[in-house]
Structure 1
Amino acid sequence: MEMPAESPFRVFFIPFFVPSHMNPMVDLACAFAMQGVDVTILLTPANERLIKSTIDRTAATGLSIRSLCFPFPSEEVGLPEGVESLSTVSRGEEEKIYLALDAVNGSIGGLLRLHRPSVVVHDFLFAAVSSMVKELGIPCVVFHGFGAFPLVILTQIESLLADVSKISNEGINVPFLVRGVPDKVEMVESELPDFYRTRHYLNENLHKFNQSLEDCNAEVVNTIYDIEPAYCDLYSQMAIKPVFFLRPFTLGLINENGSSSKKEISAWLDMQARGSVVYVSFGSFNYISREQCRELALGLELSGRPFLWALKERDFAGDGENLLPEGFESRVQGRGLVCKGWVPQKAILGHLATGAFITHMGWNSLIEALVAGVPMISWPLSYEQFVNERFVTCVLSVGLRMWDGYRSSLPEEAAKAVVKAEDIARVVGRFLPPGCGDDEIEALRERAARYQPLIQTTVEEDGVVWKDLTKLINALKAYVPGDDDLG
């Protein structure tokens, strides 16, 4: 008599509607699949198109992974059909993407009841999902798209908001100390996340996010323990449920088909001197003003350094006409490469020619720079990016601020504080090829380079990240309905 086949261990992943959240969760989903787990990623149609090639490429290796679509509530939230991501809406319509979080609860709940997965892993922004999953009697894991340092700092800042308001009311943007953390971390009111400074979905629904953390069974933080051990330990103490620190980088283990743009960029980088190129990117959904964009172009030109600038339409407000100074691209031809659209950021950072990274301080970009051992020039714009900057410049000391003057997380304020071309050139011009820079730059390079082998060791197939992943999967498989958390 044949024994019935054992049911597969099926895990559903639910990422938020923006590449900076989707990409690390898809990375984690691929890691689960590589451990023999049957993986399904829940996505809306437009967001599925963004990562379908990655899912298909992974499935082609024989791993059990697929996507499952649910409708985006375009009409309900007042967005055009097909506009389903923070990376495709204007700044003024971002709240509509957040409102969709509540509007899709019915669709997600219906899919979970229909398919009854073994486990659900969801972005922390889907606050209602934890309670849905709890009612189904299956374990639930909350995924945080950024690291332990910003999680700890933001938690501490929330307790100081009354003091910050007092500073703001006095009209003085003076630094205040974030208490209860391992390092000296100072913030100013204008650089706090915008969701603390204005009416915002995230701040207004803070109680829902906290309830979700109570209803879940575990948390996963998108980081590597060895780069921030003190903050990982502190967050583990602060959290209600067990915390796992996982950043597997599986996408680097799965062969990626070369695109024409990737080949063109690689060929250009191959012609540059080792460590000479300054890479510039502000992520997938950040704005800089048209005036600031032109000053940046002039600053890069004045610096005399080779540069590669990933320019997206979301980097500026408007239609993009006359964005760059007249004749700019012809004047920098050969020394500078302006790429309009998607670029292979990991490959660029990992190229031997890349010597510095002007970044908005998004958590994924920060981690990718550390993986490549590349020092950073920080230019935070919004959300928790000014907090992340403190981690790079004050804790790890692997980066410099582009500008020490007034800055703001609110775009209308930031637009009034334009960093001039001369100031940009002064900072960028210091990043000469290795061995040619001043003592501070050489020290930054040396410290940044130390993280490459450290991270490589942790993410290797027998490294600590994979061991922790196995520990999490085994705990999920051993889950007994009714348990509050994983043993």
Structure 2
Amino acid sequence: MEMAEAAAGAGTGGLEVAVFPWLAFGHMIPFLELSKRLAARGHAVAFVSTPRNLSRLPPVPPHLSAHIRFVPLPLPAVEGLPEGAEATSDLPPDKVGLLKKAMDGLAGPLASFLADAVAAGRRPDWIILDFCHHWVPPIADQHKVPCAAFLIFHAAFMAFIGPRWANSVHPRTNPEDFTEPPKWIPFPSTTVFLHHEARRMLADNFGENASGKSDTDRLWDVFERCRLTIHRSCRELEPRMFTLLSDLLRKPAVPAGILLPGAPDDRDEDHRHSSSGGADSHQVLRWLDDQPPKSVIYVGLGSEAPLTLENIHELALGLELAGVHFLWALRKPAGTNNKQELLPAGFEERTQDRGVVCTGWVPQVKVLAHGATAAFLTHCGWGSTIESFGFGLSLVMLPFLTDTPMIARAMAERGIGVLVPRDGSDGSFDRDGVVVAVRRVMSEHEGKVFATNAKKLKELVVDERRQEQYIHELEEHLRRYKDDRGS
């Protein structure tokens, strides 16, 4: 069912919903996709973020624009946070804690927004918030507005973190405790970390940061204060996770489907290009047009993978030695001015006949959809992984942060790609490991097996009617739980 048809059949009595994502585009874009699907069913959505972030979002389709309004809340200044930095992509990783501290300063403006909405007769039926907005539910309670958490992570990772009570019963304090499934997952699972991943996960998620509160403490507060949780996933991908999460969290855990972005049009391209100073996307696509069908591996490690100069060099030399055609979207780390500072000497000259490196914005969905693209070398962020489902692409996986190692192992288990080999003690990788992984996925024989499995996964999850049913079920939960707890 197309969204416009869904809107026509949604009936009367639309909900008023405010959505408030974390200040990262990997969160804002799925929140916008959810907003569009709710708007298509006749609900009114107020999308809350900071002014610069709102200006960088892709435009809403005209037929939905009457149902979605954008609410700018100016981000407070915080010492050490660069001026104009309103999203994680504007910052090096070590400054993200300061962005959380600045975001916490939006409590007053959010309270004013709610008070004004109530005074105008537009009290929201729900606030749908993100993992880190622990301070929103107390403000919402003052205005008698219930909260739901929209968690854009792999649902298995949420089960692995678990609620506060489960961690109290089965405490985990050392990296070794995270290298096996937690006691509250009662079935075989790939939800484990390797030792080096566990050390990083402990520091990144359980450790205190510059905001003064760990990400896990924020998440636990959100778990406890929300009436339900919403997950960017589906039962076809994670068949047992939602029943388990509902039991663990003692409230409904509702899959919203994969929220696969629609194919971008030229308005999206022009908007991102003008607002982010990105690469000439048309030039990138023209280069792809000149490549043989299914010959290119697209390399995109997201905007937050903590790549060192050594990592970049080993990846570059691995691509060179693999001898494949490649398109690499390379984000410049803070403090670097040009590609020549990042890439091995002579790399671009040696690979110019079969490879392109872009340090500006690349239209990832259009690249993944292109007929020349055969595979995706990815950090396995959940958003990028979901985008790959839409085109049935096999994967070369190089995960770094948060839930990405778990996602990579789950995808490897499904037979749609391979992980780049890593050193077990520190997680480092080298050019030889890149060569092996890339050649396996791009090879004529083994590569066909990965491609076949990827196409089967696409057929399983990329079904518009089935995905629309998830939004219908979410809508029913939002109606049922808005006035009470559904009892």
| 2:75 matches 1:72 | yes
CA deviation vs aligned residue, 1:138-185 (integer Å, no higher than 9, x gap): 2321110112121122329957985662749xxxxx954555353343
Amino acid at match of 2:437: V
In the other structure, the counterpart of 2:6 is none
CA deviation vs aligned residue, 1:101-143 (integer Å, no higher than 9, x gap): 3221111121112113232111121112123223322232111
| 2:238 matches 1:219 | no
Match of 1:262 among 281, 287, 293: 281
Distance 2:230 2:29 in 1: 15
Q: CA RMSD in A?
A: 2.9
Q: Is the 8 A contact 2:261 2:387 kept in 1?
A: no
| 2:298 matches 1:279 | yes
Structure 2: stretches of 5+ with no match in the other structure: 1-11, 118-122, 271-278
1:470 to 1:254, Cα distance in 2 relative to 1, 3 A: farther
In the other structure, the counterpart of 2:239 is 229
SS in 2 for 1:280: strand
Distance 1:41 1:77 in 2: 27
Distance 2:434 2:482 in 1: 57
In the other structure, the counterpart of 2:4 is none
Match of 2:325 among 303, 306, 324: 306
Q: Is the 8 A contact 2:302 2:381 kept in 1?
A: yes
Q: Is the 8 A contact 1:246 1:468 kept in 2?
A: yes
Distance 2:223 2:22 in 1: 16
Amino acid at match of 2:81: L
In the other structure, the counterpart of 1:391 is 410
Distance 1:447 1:370 in 2: 11
More moved, 16-25 vs 182-191: 182-191
- Taking only the aligned residue pairs, the percentage that are identical comes to 26
Distance 2:13 2:442 in 1: 58
In the other structure, the counterpart of 2:110 is 108
Amino acid at match of 1:340: T
1:224 to 1:471, Cα distance in 2 relative to 1, 3 A: closer
SS in 1 for 2:240: helix
| 2:334 matches 1:327 | no
Q: Is the 8 A contact 1:77 1:99 kept in 2?
A: no
Distance 2:404 2:335 in 1: 20
Q: Is the 8 A contact 2:175 2:199 kept in 1?
A: no
User: What TM-score, normalized to structure 1?
Assistant: 0.84
| 2:369 matches 1:364 | no
Match of 1:241 among 251, 255, 261: 251
User: What TM-score, normalized to structure 2?
Assistant: 0.84
1:269 to 1:221, Cα distance in 2 relative to 1, 3 A: same
Distance 1:107 1:176 in 2: 43
Distance 2:189 2:454 in 1: 20
In the other structure, the counterpart of 1:171 is none
SS in 2 for 1:112: helix
Q: Is the 8 A contact 1:289 1:317 kept in 2?
A: no
1:193 to 1:348, Cα distance in 2 relative to 1, 3 A: farther
In the other structure, the counterpart of 1:426 is 436
SS in 2 for 1:227: coil
Amino acid at match of 2:423: G
Structure 1: stretches of 5+ with no match in the other structure: 1-5, 169-173, 409-413
1:98 to 1:241, Cα distance in 2 relative to 1, 3 A: same
- 1:204, distance to aligned residue in structure 2 (A): 3.3
In the other structure, the counterpart of 2:454 is 448
- 1:63, distance to aligned residue in structure 2 (A): 4.1
| 2:155 matches 1:148 | yes
**How many residues of Structure 1 are paired with residues of Structure 2 in the alignment?**
453
Amino acid at match of 1:429: R
